Chains A and B, each alone.
Chain A
């Protein structure tokens, strides 16, 4: 599983790829947990860019839950964005709407969650 992350203003954007399931969730967790300290410090929060995730199982959602608990305990925010329809439906069935904020795009998430992140990206890419 390929997982990239980048800093946008005071936000971290994490972008996993492919299936997050019993075979890959451990890799996902190992990639995400070190980011939680950073995201909960001077950062305002963390956005999971799920555009290239085709499936997420309970073990993958458990990682989102770990991240949500850690970040919210420090007053930071957590969101998922750009989900494929199947993944969005899985999160809804799992009742994760109260665990993470949901946005249609990463830019929309950054705009809503952090003025610093919104200001840090080029004007042309800002959400209307």
Chain B
């Protein structure tokens, strides 16, 4: 495995920057520019970079879709949230219609925010393409077909001209897929979800979203510490604060940045990437959560430093 690309990072439903938020950023940038010397292209670039991510960037609003780039020419995706649409457009722009591709797609679960990108996933409509869709739910195929039935969507599943196959993955078993060893783990979420551990050439990526952790159960902690064990990268559902996750939002099926740090520290993980951001959070809030999470890691560090990122649409992480 070479790198991970994030096409959709938001939880629950897509969001977009509003006109009011964009204007506020422009005002901040222009005010700051009054005192700056911006005579050259480099100076402008440097000034913009210095504004900080919540002003000069955005975490984005597409729902879950993550690409793992391997040494194979086949594509590997986790989930088909709305981020699958720009991914599909990029793949079509690269390969066109005459160069069939294979897409291995691992589904965490079948809630709407994780499947809503499929009807807009252009490669599925192209003859010759191959979609291999993997999951732990027995309803996997039925759920993807159902969202394309009337009155929910005007284009039926049968309009897909790609060769599409579904595969049930048994949790706990090691599956050899596309040169990777893939292990699924059942997670606590409404209707269950599945995390995936991908291993190839000494590199390990764990995709663990929509997963609530039972803090009172040491066996649950042990299962996840083993599942995350020694990973180069863990993509983790850090949707809520710890206080919310264990009070007003208990049993909502999500976790917190704090539990992400603790599990990754126990598991000796190299890099924790916060994912499935709360849709009610603006960019400044997510950036503050990231700062807090890094600080928590720093003040609780017992061994090696755990690198921490917050995923955004367009982020690439080299492995």
Interface size class of B (residues with CB under 8 A): 20 to 34
In the complex, what distance in Å separates the CA atom of A28 from the CA atom of B24?
48
Residues of chain B with a CB closer than 8 A to A90's CB: 296, 299-300
Residues B299 and A61 in contact, CB atoms below 8 Å apart: no
Known: A22-B221, A62-B215. A55 touches B300 (CB 8 A): yes
Residue B216 lies at the interface, judged by CB distance under 8 Å to chain A: yes
**Bound-complex Cα distance A99 to B256 (A):** 16
Considering residues A59, A89, A94, A98, which has the most beta carbons from chain B within 10 angstroms of its beta carbon?
A94
| Closest-CB distance, A19 to chain B (whole angstroms) | 10
Interface bits B254-271 vs A (CB < 8 Å: 1, else 0): 001011001000100000
Chain A residues with CB under 8 A of B221: 22
B296 touching A22, Cβ below 8 Å: no
> Do residues B243 and A95 form an inter-chain contact, with CB atoms below 8 A?
yes
Determine whether the beta carbon of B262 is less than 8 Å from that of A69.
Answer: no
Chain B 75-105 against A: per-residue CB contact (8 Å), 1 yes, 0 no?
A: 0000000000000000000000000000000
Interface residues on A, range: 20 to 34
Q: Which of A55, A61, A62, A86 is packed against the most chain B CB atoms within 10 Å?
A: A62
Q: Does A65 contact B (CB under 8 A)?
A: yes
Contact B215 A89 (CB under 8 A): no
- Which residue of A is nearest B292, CB measured? A93
* Contact (Cβ within 8 A) A58 B259: yes
Contact A65 B299 (CB under 8 A): no
Residue B48 at the A interface, CB < 8 A?
Answer: no
Question: Chain B: which residue is nearest A69 at the CB level?
Answer: B247
B309 interface residue per 8 A CB criterion: no
A 33-55 binary contact with B (CB < 8 Å = 1; else 0):
00000000000000000000001
Inter-subunit contact B243/A89 (CB<8 Å): no
The answer to the question of B140 belonging to the interface, with a C-beta cut-off of 8 Å to chain A, is no
Partner of A22, one of B218, B244, B246: B218
Whether A95 lies near B300 (C-beta < 8 A) is no
For residue B244, which residue of chain A has the nearest CB? A95
Q: Give Cα A61 to B300, complex, Å.
A: 15
Q: Which of A101-119 contact B (CB under 8 A)?
A: none
A48 smallest CB distance to B (angstroms)? 16
Q: Please state if A94 and B243 are interface contacts (CB–CB under 8 Å).
A: yes
**Considering the chains assembled together, what is the distance between the CA atoms of A90 and B215 in angstroms?**
17
How far is A90 from B295 in the complex, measured between Cα atoms in Å?
Answer: 9
C-alpha gap A105/B165 in the complex (Å)? 64
**Residue from the set B243, B262, B300 with the largest chain A CB neighbour count within 10 Å:** B243
Across the interface, B299 reaches (CB within 8 A) one of A86, A98, A99, namely A86
* Contact in complex: B299, A89 (CB < 8 Å): yes
Q: Kindly provide the distance from the CB of B273 to the nearest chain A CB, expressed in whole angstroms.
A: 18
A94 touches B242 (CB 8 A): yes
- Does B181 sit at the interface, judged by CB under 8 A? no
Within 8 Å by CB of B215, from A59, A86, A98, lies A59
For the complex, is A57 an interface residue (Cβ under 8 Å from B)? yes
Q: Which residues of A contact B296 (CB under 8 A)?
A: 89-90, 93
Asked if residues A93 and B258 are in contact (CB atoms below 8 Å), the reply is: yes
Q: How far is the CA of A99 from the CA of B241 in the complex (A)?
A: 12
Give the residue of B216, B243, B259 whose beta carbon is less than 8 angstroms from that of A96.
B243
**Structural contact, A58 and B215, CB atoms closer than 8 A:** yes
A1-47 contacts to B, CB under 8 A, are 22, 26, 29
Interface centre among B215, B262, B295, B299 (most CB of A within 10 A): B215
Using A58-B262, A62-B216, A65-B243 as known contacts, list a sample of 6 further A-B pairs with CB atoms less than 8 Å apart, ordered by residue number in A: A29-B216, A58-B215, A58-B259, A89-B295, A96-B242, A96-B243
Interface residues of A (CB under 8 A from B): 22, 26, 29, 55, 57-59, 61-62, 65, 69, 86, 89-90, 93-96, 98-99
The 9 closest A-B pairs by CB, nearest first: A95-B241, A94-B242, A95-B243, A93-B292, A59-B215, A62-B215, A93-B296, A65-B246, A86-B299
Please name 19 pairs of A and B residues whose Cβ atoms are closer than 8 Å in the assembled complex, sorted by A.
A22-B266, A57-B262, A58-B242, A58-B256, A58-B258, A58-B262, A62-B246, A65-B247, A86-B299, A89-B296, A90-B296, A90-B300, A94-B242, A94-B243, A94-B256, A95-B241, A96-B243, A99-B243, A99-B247
